[in-house]
Amino acid sequence: MSEEIINVGFTEDADETQVSEPLRIEIDCVTPPSREQLDRIRDFMAARYGKDPSETEFVIKRDPSVVAGFKIFVGDDNYDWSALGRIRQLRRSFQSMKREMKEEKIISLLRENVENFELGTGYQQVGFVSSVSNGVVRLTGHYDLEYGEIVLFESGVKGMVQDILSDGSSGVVLFGDESEVSEGMKVLRTRRSAGIPISNKLPGRIIDPLGRPLDGKGELGAVQYFPIERPAPSIIDREPVGVPLEIGLLAVDSMFPIGRGQRELIIGDRQTGKTSIAVDAILNQKGKDVICVYVSIGQRAGAVARVAETLKKHGADEYTVIVSSTAGDPAPLQYIAPYAGCAVAEYFMYRGRDTLIIYDDLSRHAVAYRTLSLLLERSPGREAYPGDVFYLHSRLLERSARLSKRLGGGSMTALPIVETQAGDVSAYIPTNIISITDGQLFLESDLFFAGQRPAVNVGLSVSRVGGAAQYDIMKKSVGSVRLDLAQYREMKVFTQFGGELDAGTARRLRHGEVLMMLLRQNKQSPMPLHSQVITLICANGGIFTDIPVKEVKQYQSELLDYFEREVPTVCLRIDHEKTYSDEIRDLILEAAARFIARKPAKE
């Protein structure tokens, strides 16, 4: 199917907030419409959707199955202006006229309607439901359905083709209520893959995977239809990951930096703070021109509501889209939820914006797909998952990228979440996703219950991008923190056997305890860059070492307040220059020494 794009008088402004969304009109046909026909279609659609005719974009696709006339798609709306569509419309008109008019008048009107009508040879495929069970429908009568194609049932329910058999039958998963589908019901092809209506007005909204609003704020006003499945950008379309995306957590930004376009896995047992890290990452993007997408897969509705309320409380809802498929939704909706969220993020990425997407979580997504596969009678593999479960997530996460300047320079950073059982990272789904992503943040239950939050295990966590995704001042301020923490863990094991410690070992243990305390951070309180840099330089400079461990957090808070109040120029230089120098380090250490001298530690 060839495609031709025609832009009619639409000019995109440099300011994204001032850009009026173009009316994208897709036309499937055999013979392309004339200029006069395009003008008529443009005027009709512009008036129907309240747009200026100059803000119109046509996409012409040559499709032999249309035979004659046009099939027109605007957003999620279909207009069948083909020859076969006219016949169906005429048949419906005839049925309604039979109830209201005399036979003579019906014949007269029919003659008038068909007098100049010519129809070439063609056909319209109509399939039938052969069985319905557990949200899966078996169809017969369609012999050239495509995998992933959307079909429309007579009752108005939509489904997606997920199984095509050699005997001509096919398996479809439902996106609606199973009770509305019965055996023998007619099923029509749409010749379209699953997609989501989308526009630049989505930030601040809560939608389901089909693009239907869930927040009670009315319709989205979307005029574009974006496919949820899309090939990942090629290598030549990507730029290396080198621009930091700070999430505001000292333990992460200092040792496991995340870059724009990276995929960093958040993994850990249940109730270890995985969602909290993701929410903090969203909160820290305020004022940084980053569009965030939070995808909830199989979560309780109450949990999604709490996340939405937290975002609203901190003003983060203005730049965040929530795509929610709760535990009460059918498995097909949970299955397409991350792809729908990815499509939303991609829409902004290809318009030159930086985006952050959270998948919470992919463990439940894999379970939903396993449910569908077993119902479709596919052969089970390890842990009853189908053989293509790896491809399930690889084709999703590979779409995260930092695009080249030729494509606008946008980026999509992914933070997928995976739940483990008893800390077992060697299970099937965790190992699959670890091999796809560019690093992982492992949250340990023992650390969490010991009060170390975020409970990031420094030994098992890693970022494969490393210092390439850090500002110069952060990279050089970290110093030997990670090595000191590793030595602290080893020495702490030996101290359990008792015995006296020499002064050097005791001081290293004390330094490690201070570092662990400094890495603790409350929820919903992300740290700006200057606060993180000041903390790290002071920690490596031994400023906190002689302070009682229980007082370290209080001293840290008061020290940061002192810097912002007494030496704000240092904070401003860190945030704007982002470059390390001995001068900056000396200024920080001198100011910290003055603060400690004013307020000595209590023994």
Active site residues: 464
Distance of alpha carbon 252 from alpha carbon 274, whole angstroms: 13
Percent helix, strand, coil in the chain (nearest 5)?
40, 20, 35
Distance of alpha carbon 41 from alpha carbon 298, whole angstroms: 42
Encoded tokens for 328: 């009460």
How far apart, in Å, do the first and last CA atoms of the chain sit? 78
Distance of alpha carbon 62 from alpha carbon 29, whole angstroms: 5
Distance of alpha carbon 290 from alpha carbon 355, whole angstroms: 5
Q: Which amino acid is at 253?
A: D
3-state SS assignment for residue 349 = helix
Distance of alpha carbon 461 from alpha carbon 241, whole angstroms: 19
Distance of alpha carbon 466 from alpha carbon 489, whole angstroms: 22
Distance of alpha carbon 228 from alpha carbon 197, whole angstroms: 10
3-state SS assignment for residue 351 = coil
Read off φ and ψ for residue 432, nearest 5 degrees.
Answer: -60, -50
Encoded tokens for 39: 């003008």
Residue 598 burial (CB < 10 Å; 0-12/13-18/19+)?
exposed
User: Could you tell me which residues are beta bridge partners of residue 62?
Assistant: 29
Whether the Cβ atoms of residue 176 and residue 160 lie closer than 8 Å to each other: no
Read off φ and ψ for residue 9, nearest 5 degrees.
Answer: 65, 25
Distance of alpha carbon 417 from alpha carbon 263, whole angstroms: 11
Alpha carbon distances (Å) from 549 to 511, 556, 603: 9, 11, 10
Alpha carbon distances (Å) from 4 to 33, 127, 544: 12, 31, 65
Distance of alpha carbon 278 from alpha carbon 266, whole angstroms: 8
Whether the Cβ atoms of residue 277 and residue 342 lie closer than 8 Å to each other: no
CB atoms within 10 A of CB 316: 21
Q: How many CA atoms lie within 13 A of 38 on its CB side?
A: 21
Q: Which residue bears the tokens 């639409």? A: 10
User: Could you tell me which residues are beta bridge partners of residue 71?
Assistant: 28, 80
Encoded tokens for 28: 């499937």
Q: Which residue bears the tokens 């662990």? A: 516
How many residues would you count in the chain? 603
Encoded tokens for 126: 């109509």
Read off φ and ψ for residue 153, nearest 5 degrees.
Answer: -85, 160
Distance of alpha carbon 228 from alpha carbon 415, whole angstroms: 18
Listed residue (585, 581, 586, 529) closest to 560, CA to CA: 529
Whether the Cβ atoms of residue 217 and residue 444 lie closer than 8 Å to each other: no
Cβ contacts of 451 within 8 Å, gap of 6 or more: 520
